[in-house]
């Protein structure tokens, strides 16, 4: 008997391509996003070297079910908010940063959804100050780590444990 299970997650190369396109479209290509792959010697997840972090997540439900999460250092979050709002020196409030980070995960999550079997629906983004927490029922199925301006950016995809 054949048991069909959902494909666990997207290909890392596709996730990379999507993040790269979102990044270069809205944040310019003067400062490239540099991929950072886990050191072979390093056990498990590489460190996320930032003190202040923003995180945002969208969920996909339907033909494929999972969660797409973006985590970035506060300084990356501020920079991308300024670039998207075309603001230079004016002070930013948290609502503006949350909005921009939410739109970032919406764009990445929506494109990751289209890599997976559909039809599926995308939730509105949930944004938080601090690292993302994941339910124990979800397992990480893809992760893309990068550095931008010397600060960390992480995109991870979680799906139900099969």
Partner 1 sequence: MAPASFQLIAALVLRETSIIYEPRKEYLVEARLHPLAAQAGCASVDAYVQMLSINPVERRKAIDALTINETSWFRDNAPYQAFTETMLPALMANRTERRHLSIWSAACSSGQEAYSIAMLLDQHLPAGWTADILATDVSTAMLTRVENGRYSQVEMNRGLPATSLVKYFTRAGSEWEIVPALRKMVRTRHLNLAEPFPVIGTFDLVLLRNVLIYFDQPTKHGILRRMHQHVASDGYLLLGSSETTLDLPADLHAMWDREQIGRVQAHRPAGGLTVPRPSSTTFSAALTGARP
Partner 2 sequence: MTESPMTQRAMIIDDSKAMRSILRRIVSGLSFETAEAAHGQEALDQMEAGFMPDLCLIDWNMPVMDGYTFITEVRKRPEWRNITLMMVTTESEQGQIVKALAAGAHEYVIKPFTPDAIVEKLELLGLVSKGVLA
Query: Would you tell me which residues interact with partner 1 (CB under 8 A)?
Result: 11, 13-14, 17-18, 21, 24-25, 29-30, 32, 111, 114-115
Least separation in angstroms between residue 21's CB and partner 1 is: 5
Q: Which residue in the set 86, 135, 137, 162 belongs to the binding site for partner 2 (CB under 8 A)?
A: 86
- Alpha helix (H) ranges present in the chain? 12-27, 74-85, 94-113
100 binds partner 2 (CB under 8 A): yes
d(CA 118, CA 113): 8
67 binds partner 2 (CB under 8 A): no
**Nearest to residue 140, comparing CAs of 155, 128, 127?**
155
Least separation in angstroms between residue 25's CB and partner 1 is: 6
Nearer to partner 1, 29 or 42 (CB): 29
Size of the site for partner 2 (CB under 8 A): 25
Cβ within 8 Å of residue 29, ≥6 positions away:
none
Joined together, the tokens standing for residue 156 give: 């991870």
Residue 32, binding choice from partner 2, partner 1, none, Cβ under 5 to 8 Å by partner class: partner 1
Distances, alpha carbon 147 to alpha carbons 38, 55, 72, 124, in Å = 12, 15, 9, 26
Residue 66, binding choice from partner 2, partner 1, none, Cβ under 5 to 8 Å by partner class: none
Distances, alpha carbon 32 to alpha carbons 1, 111, 157, in Å = 49, 20, 22
Q: Which residue in the set 7, 12, 14, 99 belongs to the binding site for partner 2 (CB under 8 A)?
A: 99
Residue 152: how many other CB atoms lie within 10 Å: 19
In the complex, which residues of this chain contact partner 2 (CB under 8 A)?
A: 21-22, 25-26, 81, 84-86, 96, 99-100, 102-103, 106-107, 109-111, 113-114, 118-119, 122-124
């Amino acid at each position: 008997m054949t048991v069909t299970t959902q494909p666990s997650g997207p290909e890392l190369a596709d996730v990379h391509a999507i993040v790269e396109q979102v990044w270069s479209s809205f944040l310019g290509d003067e400062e490239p996003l540099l991929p950072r792959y886990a050191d072979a010697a390093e056990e498990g997840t590489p460190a996320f070297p930032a003190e202040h972090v923003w995180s945002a997540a969208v969920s996909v439900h339907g033909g494929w079910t999972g969660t797409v999460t973006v985590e970035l250092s506060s300084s990356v979050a501020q920079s991308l908010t300024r670039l998207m709002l075309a603001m230079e020196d004016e002070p930013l409030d948290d609502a503006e940063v949350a909005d921009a980070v939410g739109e970032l995960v919406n764009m990445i999550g929506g494109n990751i959804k289209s890599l997976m079997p559909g039809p599926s629906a995308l939730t509105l983004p949930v944004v938080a100050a601090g690292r993302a927490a994941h339910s124990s029922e979800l397992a990480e199925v893809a992760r893309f780590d990068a550095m931008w301006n010397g600060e960390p950016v992480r995109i991870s995809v979680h799906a139900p444990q099969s």
